[in-house]
Amino acid sequence: MAPRSIKGSPKIAGILSTAPSTEPVSEAKPTGKPMEVAEDLIDILTAHINQTVGHELSDFVVLLPVSLVGVLNRAAQRAGVGDIEDLIGTSVQPYSGTDYGIFLLPKHFTSLSYREGRDGNVWKIEATRNAGRQAWDLEIITVVDIVANGKVKVKLTADGLQTEMVAFPMITNVKLA
């Protein structure tokens, strides 16, 4: 089963594409059969793992354009695994809209912060009957802030008295051209 796109994912991708803690890299877009494309994508992602925040793909969440989901699902079927996440070996979150590339978000260095909305509630849960499927649709609505800007203190002098806070690249943005 393919991962479902979260409604706010396009906004998240847009924000991350310009964040100071995002390191952009460019690669040629893989072509060929789905299995070949998937293998090339996994190789590209593995080659661009930021070793300061993770050592293998399972240390990251992959945020990718929804246009790659079909190819990766087909590759997962051909490989005999359950889904994209089993194929890649980590959590995958597709996003729709503008293609900002693929993001590697370190699991141990990013977080989500939930806060109250205008109505004063942190969570709003709505259940709607879906008669066509004889089921219920459950919507969970919240306001979330992504905490993904890393900073490090750099010593400007040998004695360490002068320091500067600078952006620390934690997120890798692989742009396929």
Q: What secondary structure does DSSP assign to 41-69, as a single string?
A: HHHHHHHT--TTT-SSGGGEEEEEEGGGH
- Does 45 share its domain with 81? yes
Task: Give me the phi and psi of 164, to 5 degrees please.
Answer: -140, 135
- Does 60 share its domain with 101? yes
Question: Taking the model in full, what pTM does it have?
Answer: 0.74
Residue-number span of the structural domain to which 134 is assigned: 114-143
- Does 119 share its domain with 34? no
- Does 96 share its domain with 131? no
> Has residue 129 been placed in a domain?
yes
pLDDT tens-digit readout, 117-168: 888 888 888 999 989 889 998 888 888 776 667 777 888 888 878 888 887 8
Asked if residues 148 and 61 have their Cβ atoms less than 8 Å apart, the reply is no
Total tally of structural domains belonging to the chain: 2
Q: In this structure, what DSSP letter does residue 30 have?
A: P
Report pLDDT for 57.
Answer: 95
130 pairs with which residues across the strands?
Answer: 135
- Does 127 share its domain with 102? no
- Does 65 share its domain with 30? yes
- Does 84 share its domain with 31? yes
CA 21 to chain centre: 14
- Does 56 share its domain with 89? yes
Exposure of 21 in the CB half-sphere (CA atoms within 13 A): 19
Phi-psi region of 72 (alpha: psi -120 to 50; beta: other; left: phi over 0): alpha
Report pLDDT for 58.
Answer: 94
- Does 95 share its domain with 18? yes
Exposure string of 84-107, with b = 16+ CB inside 10 Å and e = fewer, is bbebbebbbbbbeeebbbbbbbbe
- Does 54 share its domain with 103? yes
pLDDT < 50 positions in the chain: 1-2, 5
- Does 66 share its domain with 13? yes
- Does 121 share its domain with 87? no
